[in-house]
A and B are shown apart, each in its own frame.
Chain A
Amino acid sequence: MPRPTMRTEITHTVNVVQKERGFFGGAAHQCVVTKYIIHVSLPSAGSAVPLEWQVARRYSHFRSNHAALSSMFNNLPKLPPKGMWDSKGLSSSSAGLAPPDPELIASRMVLLDAYLKQLLAIPAISGCTQMRTFLGAYQGMQPAWFEGLSRDSLARMTPLPDDLVESSASPASPATTPGAWGSAAADGASPALAHGHKGDGSGHASASALDPPPLEEFAPGAAGDNSAAQAIIREMGLLVSADAFAAQFPKLHFASQPDVAAGMVQRFLNGMEAAVAVAHPEVYPNGCTEGALWWARDVLEDRLLHRLHDHVFGVLAGEQQEDTELSDCLDALSDALTPAQLDVSAAFCDTRFNRWAAASAELRQIALRRTPRAKMDCVMQCVLQLKQGLLECLGAVGGAGPLGADELFPVFVYVVLSCNPPPLASDGP
């Protein structure tokens, strides 16, 4: 299978007002800068997952990337010069906030687009870490999500309160290899990778409900397909990245801005997925299959959400009260509730066969599960018990006819209402 190669297209530019640090420690001033929005995609090559994102880069980023590539490769395509733009740019920044000349920007955009395409046509370059970093392939894993982001860039994506953006002024670490950041951040998080490397049995003994399961425990039956993804996750320290992200997460104050926080998680996961998809050839020469990619995403998502659970579930204003009220309502209701009221046919009420108790027990597990997937799994197990129960009930009375939503759904609703699993409101959709 061919490895996916990145394709780029500079789709448009944006002019933003940005605070610039003065030269040699001079006073900061505002100026208009132009950012080129590069659409990056990993086209679906056979079974690979189509993946795409956008990255905003300034001319100066192109230049430093070009300089870095020049030190590694010969015969690079020529970087379009800044040319006469320099004088204009200089005068506009000294004048304050005059926007750059749109025609010049437009022609620059076309030239830069062609330049990028020429670069990526060279396999050694499109595969190198420097180029991929420039195109944002690993960006999702960097602490810059929290610390290096400028107020401006955050403000345009999502409104964010001041205290968050101001919290740290330290520049993003020079993470040219994602693993470097992963291990650097490890001291702040729990030693997650230990799960992957050690072979003694002590890990299981000490494992509590609070520890995410080790990598090997995911989808044990499909290990062959997923060994590549597993190797990539290990090699790149992605579990450590996830843990470090989770450690930073409380800074986002989920309860006060759930959408922003959810957006951050989404972007982080997308970044990790991109990192797996473009993983280094030396780790796994043939790339990842689609199945392995999904698997990797699931593992990383579970890992992250497991750690975020306490910061996310039941923390919204009024959520706990809603839970209590709903639960009280159902308690009151359960005394009067009968299956017949919900159109549950009498044939399904035979407690010898209907498995309602087992289904309720499965559903109650939901409070103990810490990831959405695991919670969903409880619901699935509950439904499977009910389906089996329906079949056995029908068998017992020699019943006939199809078994579909008409039959199953009333039973499911009855079991949910009478079982009253906590906390229904905050665990619900």
Chain B
Amino acid sequence: MASRTSSYKVVLLGEGRVGKTSLVLRFCRDTFVDGQPPTIQASCLERALRLGDKTVNLVIWDTAGQERFHALGPIYYRDADAALLVYDITDTDSFKRIQVWVRELRKMVGDSIQLSIAGNKSDLERQRVVSRQEAAEYADSVGAHYAETSAKQNRGLDELFSSMGKRLLASREEKLGSPALGSGPASTRRSRGAAMVLIDDEPPASSSSSRCC
């Protein structure tokens, strides 16, 4: 089968100031904004990833991390394929916050969403308060992939996103392969238009119209 680009929606969740925006800017634009006014604004960016013979396109949606906008989360994650939960390794509250998100996601969208957890700001090792082991064990317990990242030093991001891409591909293939969804070409991706149309009216009469049964 020829390689085909699959597009996935990824929603970024996490407390304000943990580096969500920096992470996505680094990954998609390879820039880090530190000490100078920003020139790029990011609220939705995308990047294609090459994984073996397949290409995966990740469309990453940034969200507002402030607690007061928490209620708007479902607008973003409802139809997302993956969620990237970001916390700051120097901030315990931000780690607690992602646990709230995980509970909410599992409750609202179940297992249909791939979870990744990123402990960001790994360059600030000396101020670390959330241990690597604690976070990894937590991620394991909720079926999430875990990675430590530094948007500033560009560490851990490629591994994080390519793992996410691989798991998204695998889960889609699993879905397509299952007989319940019908076989092959009928289930090709269609980004617009809703359910398949059933045309059930008389074909226009041709010249020799014999009307019976």
A residues neighboring B (CB under 8 Å): 7, 21, 23, 31, 33, 35, 37, 39, 41, 43-44, 50, 52-61, 63-65, 67-68, 71, 89, 93, 130, 133-134, 136, 139-140, 142, 144-145, 148-150, 153, 156-157, 171-176, 266-267, 269-271, 273, 297, 342-343, 383, 387, 390-391, 394-395, 398-406, 408-410, 413
A401 contact set on B, CB distance < 8 A: 33-34, 38
Cβ contact within 8 Å between B198 and A64: no
Partner of B197, one of A53, A150, A172: A53
Known: A60-B211, A172-B204. A343 touches B68 (CB 8 A): yes
CA distance A174 to B41 in the complex (A): 56
* Known contacts A343-B68, A399-B37, A402-B25: A144-B201 contact under CB 8 Å: yes
**Nearest Cβ on chain B to A296's Cβ, whole angstroms:** 12
Closest to A413 in B: B69
- Check if B43 sits within 8 Å of A405, measured CB to CB: yes
> In the complex, which of the residues A149, A176, A390, A394 contacts B204, with contact meaning CB atoms closer than 8 Å?
A176
Contact A405 B20 (CB under 8 A): yes
Q: How far does the alpha carbon of A9 sit from the alpha carbon of B72 in the complex, in Å?
A: 44
A-contact bits for B49-88, CB 8 A (1 contact / 0 none): 0000000000000111110110000000000000000000
Contact A68 B206, CB 8 Å, known A44-B188, A400-B33: yes
Q: Indicate if the CB atoms of B193 and A270 lie closer than 8 Å.
A: yes
List 17 A-B residue pairs with CB atoms under 8 Å apart, sorted by A's residue number: A44-B188, A53-B196, A57-B203, A64-B206, A64-B210, A67-B210, A153-B200, A174-B205, A176-B206, A271-B197, A394-B37, A402-B38, A405-B43, A405-B64, A406-B17, A406-B21, A406-B65
Does A157 lie within 8 Å of B33, measured CB to CB?
no
- Given contact pairs A142-B204, A266-B193, A402 touches B185 in the complex (Cβ within 8 A): no
Contact between A157 and B200 (Cβ–Cβ < 8 Å)? yes
Distance to closest chain B CB from A91 (angstroms): 12
Interface residues of B in 102-120 (CB under 8 A from A): none
| A64 x B200 contact (CB < 8 A) | no
List the 4 closest A-B pairs by CB distance, nearest first. A404-B21, A409-B64, A68-B206, A136-B199
How far is A102 from B88 in the complex, measured between Cα atoms in Å?
Answer: 65
* B interface list, Cβ under 8 A from A: 12, 16-17, 20-22, 24-25, 33-43, 62-66, 68-69, 185-186, 188-190, 192-194, 196-213
**B64 contacts A400, C-beta separation under 8 Å:** no
Contacting pair A54 B42 (CB below 8 A): no
**Beyond the given A390-B41, A391-B41, A405-B64, could you list 8 further A-B residue pairs with CB under 8 A, ordered by the A residue number?**
A52-B190, A53-B196, A60-B210, A136-B203, A149-B201, A172-B202, A273-B193, A404-B25
Cross-chain contact B68 with A409 (CB below 8 angstroms): no
The residue from A55, A273, A409 contacting B200, defined by CB atoms under 8 A apart: A55
A21 — which chain B residues lie within 8 A by C-beta?
Answer: 211
* Complex alpha-carbon distance, A67 and B200, angstroms: 21
A63 to B68: give the CA distance in the assembly, Å. Answer: 66
Q: Is the interface of B mostly helix, strand, loop or mixed?
A: loop
Residues of A within 8 A of B197 (CB): 53-54, 140, 266-267, 270-271
- Complex Cα gap A148–B201 (Å): 7
Selected contact of A405 from candidates B21, B194, B212, CB within 8 Å: B21
Known A-B contacts A139-B199, A297-B192, A404-B21; A68 and B38 likewise in contact (beta carbons under 8 Å): no
For B41, give its contact among A59, A139, A408 (CB under 8 Å). A408
A343 touches B186 (CB 8 A): no
**When the two chains form their complex, are residues B196 and A52 in contact, meaning their CB atoms are under 8 A apart?**
yes
Question: With contacts A403-B38, A406-B16, A406-B17 known, is A342 near B68, CB below 8 A?
Answer: yes
> B203 and A53: CB pair below 8 A?
no
